[in-house]
Amino acid sequence: MDAKVNGSTTRKASPGKATILALGKAFPHQLVMQEFLVDGYFRNTNCDDPELKEKLTRLCKTTTVKTRYVVMSEEILNKYPELATEGQPTVKQRLDICNDAVTRMAIEASESCIRKWGKSVSDITHLVYVSSSEARLPGGDLHLAKGLGLSPDTHRVMLYFMGCSGGVAGLRVAKDIAENNPGSRVLLATSETTIIGFKPPSASRPYDLVGVALFGDGAGAMIVGTDPIPGAECPPLYELHTAIQNFLPDTEKTIDGRLTEEGISFKLARELPQIIEDNIEGFCHKLMGVVGMSEKDYNKLFWAVHPGGPAILNRVEKRLNLMPEKLNASRRALMDYGNASSNTIVYVLEYMVEEGLKIKEKKNGDCEWGLILAFGPGITFEGILARNLTI
């Protein structure tokens, strides 16, 4: 549905369909430049293995990451030197740090999002909280609600340990809540830190170096609701038309994470990018078919893809024969923030909005329909067919 505003055409949200009304983000204060990461990491962990150092140097170049934000600091390592010692039972110390850090970042991202939305925290009716970086009772959802001053009547949902697909999974849940509770306004918040899995380099765990080179910390937030009120809240950014989730049978060990006495241990199988490439078309067709689109329409869509790593983005681009600019927002988010797990889709969508405004200024045309995608443990595919309402 389109409407004329000041002589130009703007898209209106479909009645009863969930929309993203605002986006927000937050980061810890520690900014890491990728070019300095290797020396700092090996110095902080008192490791002088030249082979591992050379391997991490190569990985840092191939990830395409330039900068990242992290909670970990020399101050934390000075207070908890056991975090950099192999084999120490440190899960309590890690959770003490993580639980506090993710709450602080989630509050900051949510407050930023609420300011952009234009309404009051008292207008939030539901909270969806996503994290793979904490574990406690009561959970981070309650700590966030308390920190923001949400009403005790706020309905809360918490999604734990969904990894990189958590942000889009949370958006799917927020969509369902908004559409089944007319007039509701749902705050979706994600918050992650890599301290839960920080370890010193080890020749027995070479795969850990991929995480060191790739992952970052931060938080994201969105306000989701139906039937936006003109003048009372900011114009909607995206309409969430259809959301689906699929898991691939017998792939549960491809992304393997275990919470141990030493924190979380992750293993990412080498075949992960290939598995995603082999299954991406069928998954996308389920969403595109809803509006009568097919493979010939790939480049007529916008693509907000969680940047799990450059190999995944390259495989998706190749299999779908996408024009290089279609994944610009995903590649920029990866370059600027690394793979920040569930948060990253927020950063991708922010860049999508920014690029959309540039297209509008140049009057180059735009893509009304697009896909919001993420891949996580399972292997689980999360996808949302969306409409761009910003142009």
Single out the catalytic residue among 98, 113, 164, 284.
164
CB atoms < 10 A from the CB of 46, how many? 10
Give the relative orientation of helices 328-337 and 344-362 as an angle to the nearest 10 degrees. Answer: 130
Q: Is position 164 annotated as part of the catalytic site?
A: yes
Residues annotated as part of the active site: 164
